[in-house]
Amino acid sequence: MPPITCTDRELMALSDGRIVDLACGDGGLATRELIEDVFLPRIGNEKLRSGGDSSLVSAGEKIWMTTDSFVVSPPQFPGGDIGKLSIYGTVNDLAVAGARPLHLSAGFVLEEGLSLDLLEAVVQSMGEAARELGVEIVAADTKVVERGFGGGIYINTTGVGATMGAIRLGTDRIRAGDALILTGPVGDHGVAIMATRAGLSFDTRVRSDCAPLWPLTGRLLEGLGDGLRFMRDPTRGGIATALDEVARGTGRDLLLEEMALPVRTGVRAATEMLGLDPLYLACEGQALLVVEESMSARALEIIASTEGPWEPAVVGSVGEEGGAVRLRTPLGGTRRLGPLRGDPLPRIC
């Protein structure tokens, strides 16, 4: 007897027209709406509503938990692969919460027909990335779906981490005058993926910035203490969407200097060719920091003296009440940055 299977597409055909579209996954406005309309009313609680990428699950022991699914296409790209990304992505969500990554789980959804060589290369990358960070993958699961019901390889990683000291990071700790710092250039990951998909080649080959933010964030916490207010890794939706979340979280305006925002030449060239804004493209190894103004020089020192692909820069400051992100252009004008809307880049991470 052949295996009895069933296409879920039959069920979808019954849909009355309200459907999930690709924009729901872009990390911008449509994703926020899906979360607020569909998920929070049904599985919401204080921890999920807080909107951070990690949640404190045990106040006594300060244990944090975060989850991320990786569906990036293609699974291998300049600078990394889905395996490395799945380890660093989840580690980075813990890192920007100020938590030391401790344990990871890995759940695989493989598509029938996936090359075993590719699978082995991806799992090898995961092992290397985890070992480099001293984090163990303590639980794993594998499912296989029929051809045409997957994208080769999808990986969920869930991470548990611990914070040590008494410092609490949060948008509620952000004050007017605080400095906005980027640890390095934006948009590398997004351009690397898109260029690979499109088969584009540029004079300057762009590689994904796929890298771990730990132990950098640990050193920043240690060195800046209370002067470190908040950290966020700008993945889907890019730095613009991350800044918008901070502005909405604080209710304050954020004032950015367009000239100060680090964008590599190759990224600039590619985005101009493709008609895209690098501020909306994913980074996978950089962080946005909000730091007490007097500590910003110290923050830059700490980043520069830590091993990693860092090119830190102060890119702006926190303003008064408002809740908008305002970008000062080189010509002295101001342009308002909203969250990503539409323009889906499916499967960027």
301 CB contacts (<8 Å, ≥6 apart)?
none
Among 71, 96, 256, 281, binds its own copies (CB under 8 A): 71
Smallest gap, in angstroms, from Cβ of residue 130 to its own copies?
Answer: 7
ω into 41 cis (within 30 of 0): no
Contacting its own copies within 198-217 (CB under 8 A) = 198
Contacting its own copies within 21-60 (CB under 8 A) = 21-22, 24-25, 31, 34-35, 38-39, 42-43, 45, 47-48, 53-55, 57
User: Which of 70, 77, 120 lies closest to 91 in space, CA to CA?
Assistant: 70
Which residue, 99 or 314, has its beta carbon nearer to its own copies?
A: 99
Pair 186, 286: CB distance under 8 Å:
yes
Phi/psi at 4 (5° precision): -85, 115
Smallest gap, in angstroms, from Cβ of residue 78 to its own copies?
Answer: 14
Q: Which stretch binds its own copies (CB under 8 A): 68-76, 174-182, 252-260, 282-290?
A: 68-76
Phi/psi at 272 (5° precision): -65, -45
Among 134, 139, 164, 297, binds its own copies (CB under 8 A): 139
Which residue, 57 or 297, has its beta carbon nearer to its own copies?
A: 57
Among 29, 67, 78, 168, binds its own copies (CB under 8 A): 67
Smallest gap, in angstroms, from Cβ of residue 9 to its own copies?
Answer: 8
Smallest gap, in angstroms, from Cβ of residue 178 to its own copies?
Answer: 27
How many other CB atoms are there within 10 angstroms of residue 348's CB atom?
Answer: 24
User: Which of 325, 245, 267 lies closest to 28 in space, CA to CA?
Assistant: 245
Per CB under 8 A, does 63 bind its own copies?
yes
Which residue, 131 or 175, has its beta carbon nearer to its own copies?
A: 131
Per CB under 8 A, does 269 bind its own copies?
no
Residue 122 CA to residue 82 CA, distance in Å, equals 7
List the x/- string, 162-201, binding to its own copies by CB under 8 A. --------------------------------x-xxx---
Which residue, 116 or 166, has its beta carbon nearer to its own copies?
A: 116
Per CB under 8 A, does 238 bind its own copies?
no
Which residue, 176 or 274, has its beta carbon nearer to its own copies?
A: 274
DSSP notation for 54-79: SEEEETTTTEEEEEEEE--SSSEETT
Contacting its own copies within 279-318 (CB under 8 A) = none
Residue 211 CA to residue 88 CA, distance in Å, equals 6
Among 130, 228, 267, 337, binds its own copies (CB under 8 A): 130
Per CB under 8 A, does 274 bind its own copies?
yes
**3-class DSSP state of 34:** helix
Q: How many residues bind its own copies (CB under 8 A)?
A: 102
Among 29, 62, 78, 145, binds its own copies (CB under 8 A): 145
User: Which of 233, 118, 190 lies closest to 344 in space, CA to CA?
Assistant: 190
Per CB under 8 A, does 65 bind its own copies?
yes
User: Which of 234, 224, 217, 250 lies closest to 324 in space, CA to CA?
Assistant: 250
User: Which of 41, 346, 337, 12 lies closest to 197 in space, CA to CA?
Assistant: 346
User: Which of 220, 200, 199, 203 lies closest to 305 in space, CA to CA?
Assistant: 220
The owner of tokens 């890192």 is 95
120 CB contacts (<8 Å, ≥6 apart)?
none
User: Which of 271, 194, 280, 268 lies closest to 237 in space, CA to CA?
Assistant: 280
Which residue, 252 or 347, has its beta carbon nearer to its own copies?
A: 347
Contacting its own copies within 86-115 (CB under 8 A) = 102-103, 105-115
Per CB under 8 A, does 123 bind its own copies?
yes
Which residue, 120 or 320, has its beta carbon nearer to its own copies?
A: 120
